Chains A and B, each alone.
Chain A
């Protein structure tokens, strides 16, 4: 993991706007920076634009206007073939998990390593270790449809962190689990953050944000983002 020194910016948005098709802007003049090693919440009501902002961060969308800088690279100036290398430095926990139902848990978690060309011997060594760490050692060969919501959540997180990303983006990671598991997940994110990973958690769970209020948050309302310091 090539974590950068704490304090250097890992993400920078400058006057970013986003619209889908010919509709009105879902994000307007978004400007912020996130230092490496930071932990941010991304809050706002459902439909406020949290997922869109996350998609811009994990390069699933290009902004309609403005400038996005990721790992010191201006995305507008970056060639398309260079983007996969940037994406590999980002781990994403999708709101709907996006596990591949036809693959085993082991193969799902191994995906980020396989796309990097990691040897199968390494994969067979590291993936079961991580799955054991998230409590799924008994389910290595199970398929996602046979798992509970909480178990799927943990598989999704394992897949996001197996590549030891510098930036972890989680979209409503506690949305499908009970409070107890939600707290365990948050502690897991904090542990990863202590190890140097920059964390962004998008949530509309105000209780959760209040409980971890020592972390700054970006609040989205009506397409406008404002920073709320702890």
Chain B
């Protein structure tokens, strides 16, 4: 397609100099947006997987003298209630050391919070095949154990999922916007090229060239420039995305989950140069057709 015969001297045009860089920038930005969308999707899937099939029982500490012993009694009572609940496979109360370990990534040193009246947490694992009536279990728990509540993470997770979906749609919007800007640039560049080569186009037209014969030459050039620019953009995006992934992995304490791309993400990013080239080609072709339609 790229090496087909061309009667128009398009290689020397100013377009040939700036178009590849512009497409490179567009592909770079698209790659970042696409990578973000897929990375967020991966994180959400992992969070969903991690918390599905688990519940957390929270027991409020009892203040005052002897409060610690009372709290321990309530924890044991809560464990007892949950163990007798249908579909529960394991119940495990977190000790103080585990609680501190959970808080450390957020608060740093745990010395200052050691004396605070932190609620006690109990991890509950459910049988994935069993149907558990969570409303009934929660009601029974709070009736039997004062100050105990059941958290199935759904509210927290649904908000995160909403947020991730918003970010994903935003990424799609950015890619569409980038495509539109690329198209607009190709339209401008093609019209400029047609104005520069007006006399050659007129000769071709008058000796009987079909519009598509002329349009194809602009489209081939746009494809070549778009693909070359797209590869440059990809070459810029790969090290940048690798660096972001590496930096995220280096963050301590799991504040950020491990960022990684699924295979389809790699494929989508790898196809961006071809997509940019196709957008450029189709846009150039339709622009030439539209302009030539005004000739007799």
A interface with B by C-beta (< 8 Å): 58-62, 80-81, 83-88, 92, 98, 100, 102-103, 107, 111-112, 114-116, 159, 163
B7 touching A100 by the CB < 8 A rule?
A: yes
- Known contacts A100-B7, A100-B200: A60-B206 contact under CB 8 Å: yes
Question: A159 — which chain B residues lie within 8 A by C-beta?
Answer: 207
Which listed residue, A59, A102, A116, A163, touches B9 by the CB 8 Å rule? A102
11 residue pairs bridging A and B, Cβ less than 8 Å apart: A59-B296, A61-B296, A80-B293, A81-B211, A87-B208, A98-B202, A100-B203, A102-B9, A114-B5, A115-B208, A163-B208
Interface size on B, residues (CB 8 A): 17
> Is B266 part of the binding interface, using a Cβ–Cβ cutoff of 8 Å?
no
Residues from chain B with Cβ under 8 Å of A62 in the complex: 296
CA distance A134 to B23 in the complex (A): 48
Q: Is the CB of B9 within 8 A of A84?
A: no
| Closest 9 A/B residue pairs (Cβ) | A88-B208, A87-B208, A115-B209, A102-B9, A84-B208, A112-B207, A62-B296, A84-B210, A98-B203
| B293 with A87: CB separation less than 8 A | no
State whether A111 touches B7 (Cβ < 8 A). Answer: yes
Check if B293 sits within 8 Å of A111, measured CB to CB: no
Q: Contact: B207 with A88, CB < 8 Å?
A: yes
In the bound complex, CA of A88 to CA of B208 (Å):
5
Expressed in whole angstroms, the Cα–Cα distance for A123 and B125 within the complex equals 80
Q: Which residues of B contact A88 (CB under 8 A)?
A: 207-208
Known: A83-B296, A84-B208, A86-B208. 9 other contacts (CB 8 A): A58-B206, A80-B293, A87-B206, A88-B207, A98-B199, A111-B7, A115-B207, A115-B209, A115-B210
Residues on A with beta carbons closer than 8 Å to the beta carbon of B206: 58-60, 87, 92
Q: Are B208 and A103 in contact (CB under 8 A)?
A: no
Q: Mark B199-231, 1 if CB is under 8 A from A, else 0.
A: 110111011111101000000000000000000
A86 to B213: give the CA distance in the assembly, Å.
16
Among B79-118, those with CB < 8 Å from A are: none
> Is B296 in contact with A111, judged by CB distance below 8 angstroms?
no
CB contacts (< 8 Å) of B5 on chain A: these are 114
Which residues of B sit under 8 angstroms from A59, Cβ to Cβ? 206, 296
Which residue of chain B has its CB nearest to the CB of A80? B293
| B-side contacts of A115, CB under 8 Å | 204, 207-210, 213
Question: B2-14 toward A: CB 8 Å interface, digit per residue (1/0)?
Answer: 0001010100000
Distance in Å: Cβ of A170 to nearest Cβ of chain B: 14
Residues in B206-260 with C-beta less than 8 Å from chain A: 206-211, 213
Point out which of B200, B206, B213, B293 has the most chain A C-beta atoms below 10 A from its C-beta.
Answer: B206
C-alpha gap A163/B209 in the complex (Å): 13
A59-B296, A98-B199, A100-B200 given as contacts; is B208 within 8 A of A116 (CB)?
Answer: yes
CB B200 to nearest CB in A, in angstroms, measures 6
The answer to whether B7 touches A103, judged by C-beta atoms less than 8 angstroms apart, is yes
Q: In the docked arrangement, what's the CA distance between A83 and B208, Å?
A: 8
Q: How far is the CA of A118 from the CA of B209 in the complex (A)?
A: 12
Q: Of all chain A residues, which has the CB nearest B206?
A: A60
Q: Inside 8 A of A102's CB, which chain B residues have their CB?
A: 9
Q: How far is the CA of A58 from the CA of B293 in the complex (A)?
A: 17
Compute how far the CA of A97 lies from the CA of B233 in the bound complex, rounded to whole angstroms: 44
Partner of B209, one of A58, A84, A98: A84
**B162-190 CB contact bits vs A (8 Å, 1 = yes)?**
00000000000000000000000000000
Once the chains bind, are B210 and A81 in contact (CB under 8 Å)? yes
A230-B208 Cα distance, complex, nearest whole Å: 33
Partner of A107, one of B7, B203, B210, B213: B7
> Chain A residues with Cβ under 8 A from B209's Cβ?
84, 115
Interface contact B7-A114, CB-CB below 8 Å: yes
